[in-house]
Amino acid sequence: MSEATLRAEGLTKSFPGVRALDGVDLSLRAGEVHVLLGENGAGKSTLIKILSGAYRPDEGRVLMDGRPVEIRDAGDARRLGISTIYQEFNLVPDLSVAENLSLGRLPRRFGLVDTAAMQRRARELLERVDVRVDPRTPVRRLGIARMQMVEIAKALSLDARVLIMDEPTAVLTTGEVGKLFAIVRRLRDEGVAIVFITHHLEEIAEIGDRVTVLRDGRSVAEVPAGTPQDELVRLMVGRPVDQQFPRRPAELGEPLLSVRGLTRRGAFDDVSFEVRAGEVVGLAGLVGAGRTEVARAVFGADRYDAGEVFVRGRRLPPHDVHAAMEAGLGLVPEDRKGQGLVLGAGIGENLGLVTLRDATRAGFVDLKGQRTAAARVAEQLGIRMTGLDQEVRTLSGGNQQKVVIGKWLAAQAGVLILDEPTRGVDVAAKVEIYQLVNALTDSGHAVLMISSDLPEVLGMSDRILVMARGRLVGELRADEATQDGVMALAVTDVAGSRAE
Ligand X SMILES: Nc1ncnc2c1ncn2[C@@H]1O[C@H](COP(=O)(O)OP(=O)(O)OP(=O)(O)O)[C@@H](O)[C@H]1O
Nearest distance in Å: CB 235, Mg ion: 18
Judged by beta carbon distances under 5 to 8 A according to partner kind, the member of Mg ion, ligand X, none in contact with residue 40 is ligand X
Q: Counting contacts by CB under 6 A, is residue 346 touching ligand X?
A: no
Span interacting with ligand X, options 137-145, 241-249, 397-405, 443-451, rule CB under 6 A: 397-405
Q: Which letter does DSSP use for residue 478 in this model?
A: G
Judged by beta carbon distances under 5 to 8 A according to partner kind, the member of ligand X, Mg ion, none in contact with residue 409 is none
Nearer to Mg ion, 45 or 452 (CB): 45
First to last CA, the chain: 48
How far CA 40 is from CA of 84, 197, 282, 331, 422, in Å, comes to 19, 11, 25, 23, 12
Nearest distance in Å: CB 283, ligand X: 25
Binding mask 52-91 for ligand X (x = CB under 6 A): -----------------------------------x----
Judged by beta carbon distances under 5 to 8 A according to partner kind, the member of Mg ion, ligand X, none in contact with residue 27 is none
**CA dihedral over 419, 282, 317, 353, signed as positive or negative:** negative
Span interacting with ligand X, options 43-51, 98-106, 263-271, 457-465, rule CB under 6 A: 43-51
Neighbours of 56 (CB within 10 A): 12
Q: Quick one: 95 exposed, middle or buried, by C-beta within 10 A (0-12, 13-18, 19+)?
A: middle
Q: Counting contacts by CB under 6 A, is residue 18 touching ligand X?
A: yes
Span interacting with Mg ion, options 84-92, 94-102, 175-183, 335-343, rule CB under 5 A: 84-92
Nearer to ligand X, 87 or 227 (CB): 87
Beta bridge partners of 149: none
**CA dihedral over 432, 435, 441, 446, signed as positive or negative:** positive
Q: Counting contacts by CB under 6 A, is residue 146 touching ligand X?
A: no
Strands (E), 167-297: 193-197, 210-215, 218-224, 255-264, 268-276, 280-285
Q: Counting contacts by CB under 6 A, is residue 46 touching ligand X?
A: yes
Q: Which of 448, 440, 337 lies closest to 395 in space, CA to CA?
A: 337
| Options 42, 195, 259, 418; binder of ligand X; rule CB under 6 A | 42
Nearest distance in Å: CB 49, ligand X: 7
| Options 8, 37, 43, 149; binder of ligand X; rule CB under 6 A | 43
Span interacting with ligand X, options 129-137, 201-209, 334-342, 388-396, rule CB under 6 A: 388-396
Judged by beta carbon distances under 5 to 8 A according to partner kind, the member of Mg ion, ligand X, none in contact with residue 43 is ligand X
Q: Counting contacts by CB under 6 A, is residue 340 touching ligand X?
A: no
On whether the CB atoms of residues 420 and 450 are closer than 8 A, the answer is yes
Span interacting with ligand X, options 37-45, 172-180, 318-326, 331-339, rule CB under 6 A: 37-45
Q: Quick one: 317 exposed, middle or buried, by C-beta within 10 A (0-12, 13-18, 19+)?
A: exposed
Q: Does residue 273 sit in helix, strand or coil?
A: strand
Nearer to Mg ion, 45 or 355 (CB): 45
d(CA 351, CA 403): 6
d(CA 39, CA 19): 15
| Options 210, 264, 384, 430; binder of ligand X; rule CB under 6 A | 384
Q: Which letter does DSSP use for residue 346 in this model?
A: B
Q: Which letter does DSSP use for residue 247 in this model?
A: -
| Options 399, 438, 451, 492; binder of ligand X; rule CB under 6 A | 399
Nearer to ligand X, 131 or 197 (CB): 197
Judged by beta carbon distances under 5 to 8 A according to partner kind, the member of ligand X, Mg ion, none in contact with residue 102 is none
Torsion of CA 189, 191, 193, 196, to 10 degrees: -10
| Options 20, 142, 165, 472; binder of ligand X; rule CB under 6 A | 20
Q: Which of 53, 70, 60 lies closest to 21 in space, CA to CA?
A: 60
d(CA 411, CA 182): 43
Q: Counting contacts by CB under 5 A, is residue 397 touching Mg ion?
A: yes
Binding mask 26-45 for Mg ion (x = CB under 5 A): -------------------x
Q: Counting contacts by CB under 6 A, is residue 131 touching ligand X?
A: no
Which residue number has the CB closest to ligand X?
398
Q: Which of 47, 12, 42 lies closest to 28 in space, CA to CA?
A: 47
Size of the site for ligand X (CB under 6 A): 19
Site residues, ligand X (CB under 6 A): 15, 18, 20, 38, 40-46, 87, 384, 394-399
